[in-house]
Each structure stands twice: as structure tokens, then as C-alpha cells.
Amino acid sequence: MDSWQEKTIHTEPIFQGKIISLQVDTIELPDGKTATREIVRHPGAAAVLALHEDRMLVVEQYRKPMEKFQVEIPAGKLDPGEDPIVCAGRELEEETGYRAASLRPISAFYTSPGFADEKLYLYLAEGLEKGAMNLDEDEYLSVEAITLEEALRYIEEGRISDAKTVLAVYAWRLYKLTGEV
Amino acid sequence: MDSWQEKTIHTEPIFQGKIISLQVDTIELPDGKTATREIVRHPGAAAVLALHEDRMLVVEQYRKPMEKFQVEIPAGKLDPGEDPIVCAGRELEEETGYRAASLRPISAFYTSPGFADEKLYLYLAEGLEKGAMNLDEDEYLSVEAITLEEALRYIEEGRISDAKTVLAVYAWRLYKLTGEV
């Protein structure tokens, strides 16, 4: 398989933003021809399936790329050098006002491996108690605690429709069925 | 919640590529201040949890954004105007050589709602029979059929680590436990 590796011939930086950057790499294919790859760089993120009295904490916020409100689990970008589990606890408290006694890893995954390097670390948070809510300056959201039945209905209705939250709901269903994270 | 909508004041087109485009929107926040949103546009994609003799079909390919080989379920971009279920069947056959007698929707989700509008449609494919493999010109991959235990081990090892494939494995576990898609 090593010969299938895509060797970079040239990297063209296109954009450096606040959150993402974009580059176009020219690569050599196994047959010697060249192709281009459009690559978005992202610092990575952490997200939390936070369970409290058999309900999941979610936040509703406006998502500009889709031009609609979405219900999602608490999540946020990693600060430079930040451990994802620290980020998960921080974002949970900032967005919902809850602190977790226990944070356990569920999974970590690349959200869009075809064009982005964003990696998302998903944790299970339990033993929640009230801390202090503290939103980013340009962040507006509302918090809710929903049952599994409500979560499945939100997915059905499209109010929940992002990868990390759908995956968290699946993980929650499996946790309830098997007792395993 | 309507007052929380992020109104676009200005859109700056940055890049138009083969697969994605990038723009930066200046928006008005609920408090009247402005902020920017970096937005990647993507045509959307379809992916397939294809089960054959209690094994899942996966493809291994090099993923340039992460600079590593990844094992993923068959997937590909929607052609303009293409129905996602048609795309799912097409990509399954092109990448693995199998045709499915039955394709049922599992879920549809935005992969990175913070910065991209990419929506991925995930299907369950059953009743597989041999068709003809037909890869894109710049596509190199190898096909494998793995058990659930192998899939879970691949996740553990990081060989499977993208959202759609992890989600497909969770959906497969739930399907085996509950009989429901």
C-alpha cells in the first residue's frame, strides 16, 4: 500500500482565517500523473454527551453554513496545545453551566476526511453539577435537557442533524442497551 | 429565537475549487455587533453500510488531509442534481464492485456544521451481488469485508476514524441488537 501514498509536489496556501485555513496540494498519483487536493486545516474540537437524570444536554444555535438553527451537543474548538478532555469539560461548562464529575472517551473521528483534517473527540460526561455559564463573545445559544425519545424525534425532524450529535445519540442508545461506553 | 439569526451583511468569495468553495460572510449579531463566519461549500455526499454475509464492505485509501491510510465505508460526492440514494448505489458499485438489492436510509447529517455545509446521506445496503468495479481516474483503493469485531478493533487502532464509518459501525451494532435500522 505504501506506493499508493500521495506525494506532495507543491502546496499552494489559499487562505488563513480565524478558524480554518485552506491550501491546494498538487500530488503525484501511483501511475505518475498529478492531481490536486483541496485541504481545509482545522484545530480540532471536543464534544460532550452530557447525561443528567437520563437526559442529554443540548444547545440550540444558529449555524450559518446551513442558514438554520440546530440542536447539538456542547462542543468547541481546541485551544492551541489543549488536551481534548480539558476542552470537553471547559466547553460543557461554558455552554451549559454544568461541570462533570466524570468524563470518559467515547470515540474520536475525522469529520470530513476527504477535504478537512478536523478531528473531533467525543466524551461521555456524568455526575453533572451546576457551575457557571460563560459564552464566547459572538456565541448565542439556548440550553435544553432532552430524553432519548425526544432526541430520536429531533433527529427525525431534522432539528438534530450533525454528525457528532447523531453519533452521540447512537452511543447513548448503545450505552443504555449494553451498559458500555 | 428568530432574533438570533445571523444576518449576512457581506459575502466575500475566497476560492472556487473542484470539490469545495470557500467564502467569508460578515454577519450581524443579536447585539448589533458584527462578526465573520468562514464557510466551506460542498455538494454533499452519500455513504453505504453494505452488509454481506454478516460482514461490512470497506475500502482503504490514502487521505491527504491527514496524510494517512484510512479504512472507510464506500462513499462519494453527489453529482449535480443526483438523488443521494442513487449516488449511494453508484458509489457502492464503483468502489467495491457490488450492487445492492435493497438500500434503506439510516441517517443524514452535516459533517462539520461550524464551518461547512457538507451533508452526508448514510444508507444500509443489503442483498449484495457482484457488479463491475469502476474507480475515478485519481482514485486508488482496496476493498475488504470485515466482521463487527474487526470493525471495532479497527476503530480501537485508529484505522477506522472518520465520522461516517464510526457512525455506520454504531448503526450496525444497534441493527444487530434491535433489528431496527
Q: Identify whether the C-beta of residue A115 lies closer than 8 Å to the C-beta of residue A40.
A: yes
Q: Identify whether the C-beta of residue A168 lies closer than 8 Å to the C-beta of residue A47.
A: yes
pLDDT at site A141: 82
Residues 6 or more apart in contact with residue A169 via CB below 8 angstroms? A56, A148, A151, A152, A155, A160
Chain position carrying cell 489559499: A14
- SS3 track for chain B: CHHHCCEEEEEEEEEECCCCEEEEEEEECCCCCEEEEEEEECCCEEEEEEEECCEEEEEEEEEHHHCEEEEECCEEECCCCCCHHHHHHHHHHHHHCEEEEEEEEEEEEECCCCCECCEEEEEEEEEEEECCCCCCCCCCEEEEEECHHHHHHHHHHCCCCEHHHHHHHHHHHHHHHHCCC
This prediction's pTM: 0.95
Q: Is the predicted pLDDT of residue B1 greater than 60, yes or no?
A: no
Hey, are the CB atoms on A37 and B113 less than 8 Å from each other? no
Chain position carrying cell 455559564: A133
Query: What's A163's DSSP letter?
Result: H
How far is it, in rounded angstroms, from Cα A73 to Cα B90? Answer: 33
A16 SS3 class: strand
- Tens of pLDDT, residue by residue over B36-62, are 999 999 999 999 999 999 999 999 999
How far is it, in rounded angstroms, from Cα A64 to Cα B160? Answer: 30
Q: Measured between alpha carbons, how far apart are the two ends of chain B, in Å?
A: 33
- Tens of pLDDT, residue by residue over B164-174, are 999 999 999 99
Catalytic one of B53, B67, B137, B156: B137
B91 is catalytic: no
Hey, are the CB atoms on B113 and A42 less than 8 Å from each other? no
Q: Which residues of B touch A172 (CB under 8 A)?
A: none
pLDDT band at B3, cuts 50/70/90? low
Hey, are the CB atoms on A15 and B15 less than 8 Å from each other? yes
Chain position carrying cell 451583511: B9
Reference B180, options B108, B124, B127, B99; nearest CA is B124
CB-CB: which of B18, B69, B72 is closest to A36?
A: B18
- Tens of pLDDT, residue by residue over B62-84, are 999 999 999 999 999 999 999 99
- Tens of pLDDT, residue by residue over B90-141, are 999 999 999 999 999 999 999 999 999 999 999 999 999 987 777 887 888 8
Interface of B with A in 5-34 (CB under 8 A): 5-6, 14-15, 17-20, 22, 24-25, 27, 29-30, 33
A56/chain B closest Cα distance in angstroms: 18
Hey, are the CB atoms on B163 and A110 less than 8 Å from each other? yes
Cell readout for A30 is: 501511483
Catalytic one of A67, A95, A126, A137: A137
Measured CA distances, B91 to A84, A103, B76, B148 (Å): 34, 38, 6, 22
Tell me what the mean pLDDT of segment B9-17 comes to. 98
A17 SS3 class: coil
Q: Which residues of B touch A30 (CB under 8 A)?
A: 140
Hey, are the CB atoms on B64 and A173 less than 8 Å from each other? no
- Tens of pLDDT, residue by residue over B128-157, are 998 777 788 788 888 999 999 999 999 999
> CB contacts < 8 Å between A and B, how many?
189
- SS3 track for A77-124: ECCCCCCHHHHHHHHHHHHHCEEEEEEEEEEEEECCCCCECCEEEEEE
pLDDT at site B30: 85
B99/chain A closest Cα distance in angstroms: 24
Residues 6 or more apart in contact with residue A82 via CB below 8 angstroms? none
For testing contact with chain A, the best of B21, B26, B40, B174 (most A CBs within 10 A) = B40
Reference B154, options A176, A109, A112; nearest CA is A109
Query: What's A73's DSSP letter?
Result: -
Q: How many residues does chain B have?
A: 181
Reference A13, options A5, A1, A25, A29; nearest CA is A25
Residue A125's DSSP bridge partners are A50, A103
**A181 and chain B: CB distance < 8 Å anywhere?**
no
Interface of B with A in 43-82 (CB under 8 A): 45, 60-66, 69-70, 72, 77
pLDDT at site B105: 98
pLDDT at site B46: 98
Hey, are the CB atoms on B111 and A63 less than 8 Å from each other? no
pLDDT by residue, tens only, chain A of 181 residues: 556 789 999 999 999 999 999 999 999 998 889 999 999 999 999 999 999 999 999 999 999 999 999 999 999 999 999 999 999 999 999 999 999 999 999 999 999 999 999 999 999 999 999 877 778 878 788 899 999 999 999 999 999 999 999 999 999 999 999 999 9
